[in-house]
Chains A and B, each alone.
Chain A
Amino acid sequence: MKITSDHFLEHADAALADPDKAQRRDLLGLFMPLARDAAAARYGDFEALRVHLKQVRRHTMEHLEHYLTRFEEEALRNGNQVHFAATPEQLNSTVLSICQDHGARRVAKGKSMVTEETALNDHLQQAGLDVIETDLGEYIIQQAGETPSHIVGPALHKSLAEIRQLFLDRHDLGERPLEQVADIVAEARGILREQFLQAEVGIIGANALVAENGSTMLVTNEGNGDLCANLPPVLIVCTTLERILPRVEDAMALQRLLVRSATGQPQTSYTSFYSGPQRDDDVDGPLETHIILLDNKRTDILASDYSEILDCIRCGACLNHCPIYVGVGGHAYGWVYPGPMGSVLTPLLTSLEQSNDLPNACTSCGRCAEICPANIPLPDLLRDLRQEESQRQLNSPRWRRGLRVHAWFLRHPALYQRLSGWLMPVLAWLGKRRGSLRTLPFAAGWTGTRDFPAPEGGTFMRQYRKRGKVRRRRG
């Protein structure tokens, strides 16, 4: 997917200027955290679960080669073909060649952020394949020619009216009311049912890979991923190295955290473990199954100080809890993954040069880290990225100079106090009538949208020192 993260600020301004969409996001930011909190509270010891999965994750990452090898062995034993892809291009070309080997023309896809990352659809479509997204949200944005605005609810930015118009334009089904959400769902169901039945290849992602038995866990409410995994004669699972967990029980622990954090549900409708092609006892299911394990810089991240981001389970809770994501929406972030997790992943998976605004789109409020089911210290990782930005001099030279001058003054307290003791009364005098200043030289970043509250007068240190002297004389 083409990255436009370097235009984050322009995207954000445009998003903030659209009151209808802004209101939809505000509602998301209000209700999703309430749903998540209620689900976590009902669980019992949710914190213990979070800590447990973190330990299992860290253990798995430490021995990733061992578990990956084990997964591969078991998956092969189950009759899968296992492919490794170091780069997005390798994943895309592997998928295409599988499709071409079978003379496939129609591909039905379940929701997969990995294939968003590799822009698989573009690749397949350029080769003449008919690729259809089957998750309702993904289907809607595919029809609209858009990208996901949220990793769990990709089309939540669109109104019913917009989707209605989109369906009327795109589906040649004659006159119909299509006024209720249920009408939209029913129409998509009818169209997509045909696609499931006709597709020669199904493509799904995986929420976890189980090393002990080589199976992949798929968690959905719609059941679209399961239809992709059961109906077409060829199944391709596109996934990444860090999805691996040792045991089925570990995958279930992840699922417990995932569903509650993502939607506030205690359980999704379908949690499935798929292990390979049809067995002797089967009367349906794919005849051939492939698993493609993508690296795309995960091994670099594993070796870096950012390895904890590999614990991310893609629940989207940090998006719902981030006031900046809620403020500007997913499209502003300019790539596949938005919000706090995206602001860490985008620089690491693309380049910091193209996306250095994202780690700055953070107030370090800590709300994401507080609720992250994978216990990822997101604000710390974002600060580390800002440090890298600063070291590599990617931020503006004026910023760096300003900070350096400030830090220099802090190390020279006498001078700092003398200068501030002189400057603050001047500012106080300037603002004495209104109590605040509407403009201030060199402070347009502040005064563009806010008044600058005038200081009270002399600094505390100067006043306190004076009072101390007075007291001493009296004593």
Chain B
Amino acid sequence: MAESPRSEIMARLRAAAGASASATTPEQIARELAALGFASAAVLPAADTCIAFMANVLANKGSVELAADRAEAVRVVGRYLYNRFRTHKLVAGNDPRIAAMPWRDAGVLPRFGAAENGDGAALSYARLGVAETGAVVTWTGRANPGRNNLLPEDHLVLINREDVVATLEDAWLRIRQELPAGSWPRGINFIAGPSSTADVEAQLVMGAHGPRRWHVILVGATPAEALAEAKVLTAATGP
């Protein structure tokens, strides 16, 4: 009878590696790997992590607004929805942080749950922001169903100032702290821009399949000058 593909492949790998590699213990392999360390991250466009983050969000064709606190964030979201859709409808996951916000103050009517086809705007509360790449990090679960990042026309993301980290390695350090072994979610998503494509004539078009717009709201005490500086930086380096 033929061998199973698995044992066949494993046997071939063993043969390819030779005797010395096969004799290496897992502890030795782990030591070898640890000795390699991590990669050097990209240079940040600004020394201030939040300015660098905003500059990269803008470079990624996102838009940024500031909100001093959650009450102001509600007003920012309300204004955005009205300007874009002339409605106050919004879908958001069952994130306690979003549920606790004073939505009625701005007349916003959030629906809590998973986004459906045809939804205009979805709101996520990001776990992290990464300055190096201008990405926000969400993970799947009741607080942010995976499809909420993908199905709406516009994706709005709240991110706390203190949750913005400098590098991707910093981000993973935080993720490892917040998700102890065994509680790994189904999906961890680094989002850094609207859904886009350049597959036709190499022309960049937004809204390939998912959100056409990606709007990031930085929550916390950020001076307006910081956003202005980020805009100057993005304009200077270009897309």
Decide if A and B touch, CB cutoff 8 A. Answer: yes
Write out the residue numbers on chain B whose beta carbons fall within 8 Å of the beta carbon of A284: 114, 140, 145-147
Q: How large is the interface on A (under 10, 10 to 19, 20 to 34, 35 or more residues)?
A: 35 or more
B198 CB contacts on chain A under 8 angstroms: 153, 221, 263
Residue of B nearest to A85 (CB): B5
User: Within the assembled complex, what's the spacing in Å between the Cα atoms of A163 and B209?
Assistant: 18
Are the C-beta atoms of B210 and A226 separated by less than 8 Å?
yes
Q: How far is the CA of A230 from the CA of B93 in the complex (A)?
A: 15
Given contacts A227-B209, A279-B185, A299-B9, contact A267 B192 (CB under 8 A): yes
Assembly CA distance A266 to B57 (angstroms): 11
- Let me know if B237 is at the binding interface, CB within 8 A: yes
Q: Tell me the minimal C-beta distance from A261 to chain B in angstroms.
A: 14
Chain A residues with CB below 8 A from B193, complex form? 221, 267-269
Contact of A272 among B188, B194, B199, B207 (CB under 8 A): B188
Q: Are A59 and B187 in contact (CB under 8 A)?
A: no
Q: Cβ of A155: which chain B residues have Cβ within 8 Å of it?
A: 199-200
A396 to chain B, nearest CB (A): 34
The answer to whether B43 touches A42 (Cβ under 8 A) is: yes
What distance in Å separates the Cβ of B16 from its nearest Cβ neighbour in chain A?
Answer: 4
Residues of chain A within 8 A of B114, CB atoms compared: 283-284
From B18-26, B76-84, B103-111, B221-229, the one touching the partner chain is: B18-26
Minimum CB–CB distance from B19 to chain A (whole Å) comes to: 13
Near B by CB (< 8 A), chain A positions 123-167 give 134-137, 140, 153-156, 158-160, 163
- Closest Cβ neighbor of A56 among chain B residues: B36
- CB neighbours (8 Å) of B10 from chain A are 65, 68-69
User: How many residues of chain B are within 8 Å of chain A by beta carbon?
Assistant: 76
Decide: B192 and A268 in contact? CB cutoff 8 A.
yes
Q: Which chain B residues (153-205) contact chain A, with CB distance < 8 Å? A: 168-169, 172, 184-203, 205
Chain B: CB-nearest residue to A139: B199
Task: For chain A, residues 263 to 303, give those with C-beta under 8 angstroms from any C-beta of chain B.
Answer: 263, 266-279, 281-285, 293, 295, 299-300, 302-303
The 8 Å CB contact of A226, one of B5, B38, B60, B189, is B189
- What chain B residues lie within 8 Å of A345 (beta carbons)? none
Indicate with 1 or 0, residue by residue over B117-135, a CB within 8 angstroms of chain A CB atoms: 1000000000000000111
Chain A residues positioned under 8 Å from B90 (CB to CB): none
Q: Is the CB of A269 within 8 A of B60?
A: yes
Check if B147 sits within 8 Å of A184, measured CB to CB.
Answer: no
Once A136-B197, A284-B140 are accepted as A-B contacts, the answer to whether A252 and B172 lie under 8 Å apart by CB is: yes
Minimum CB–CB distance from B219 to chain A (whole Å) comes to 22
Question: Are A302 and B16 CB-contacts (below 8 A) given A44-B40, A249-B38, A276-B186?
Answer: yes
Q: Are B197 and A285 in contact (CB under 8 A)?
A: no
Cβ-neighbour of B187 out of A247, A263, A274 (below 8 A)? A274
Min CB distance A453 to B, Å, is: 39
Q: Is the CB of A86 within 8 A of B40?
A: no
Which A residues are in CB contact (< 8 Å) with B168? Answer: 249, 252, 256
CB-CB under 8 A from A136, the residues of chain B are: 197, 199-200, 208
Asked if B235 lies at the interface with its beta carbon under 8 angstroms from chain A, I say no
B149 contacts the other chain (Cβ, under 8 Å)?
yes
| Contact (A63, B135) CB under 8 Å given A230-B146, A253-B39 | no
A226 to chain B, nearest CB (A): 6
- CA–CA, A328 to B26, complex, Å? 48
Q: Are A221 and B133 within 8 A (Cβ)? A: no
For residue B220, CB closer than 8 A to chain A, the reply is no
Tell me whether B205 and A181 are in contact (CB under 8 A): yes
Q: Indicate which residue in B4, B36, B43, B209 contacts A43 across the interface (CB closer than 8 Å).
A: B43
9 smallest CB-CB distances across A and B, nearest first, come from A44-B43, A137-B199, A299-B12, A303-B16, A223-B210, A269-B193, A222-B208, A253-B39, A230-B146
Please give 7 more A-B residue pairs, beta carbons under 8 A apart, in addition to A28-B202, A42-B43: A59-B33, A84-B6, A213-B184, A246-B33, A282-B140, A283-B141, A285-B146
13 residue pairs from A and B, CB less than 8 Å apart = A84-B6, A160-B200, A185-B197, A226-B210, A241-B13, A249-B172, A256-B168, A267-B192, A273-B187, A273-B189, A284-B146, A285-B187, A302-B13
Q: Which A residues are within 8 Å of any B CB, using their own CB?
A: 27-28, 31, 42-45, 48-49, 52-53, 55-56, 59, 62-66, 68-69, 78, 83-86, 90, 134-137, 140, 153-156, 158-160, 163, 181-182, 184-186, 189, 192-193, 196-197, 213, 215, 221-224, 226-227, 229-231, 241, 246-249, 252-253, 256, 263, 266-279, 281-285, 293, 295, 299-300, 302-303
* Chain B residues at the A interface, C-beta cutoff of 8 Å: 4-6, 8-10, 12-17, 21-22, 24, 26, 29, 32-33, 36-43, 56, 59-60, 93, 113-114, 117, 133-135, 140-142, 145-147, 149-150, 168-169, 172, 184-203, 205, 207-211, 214, 237
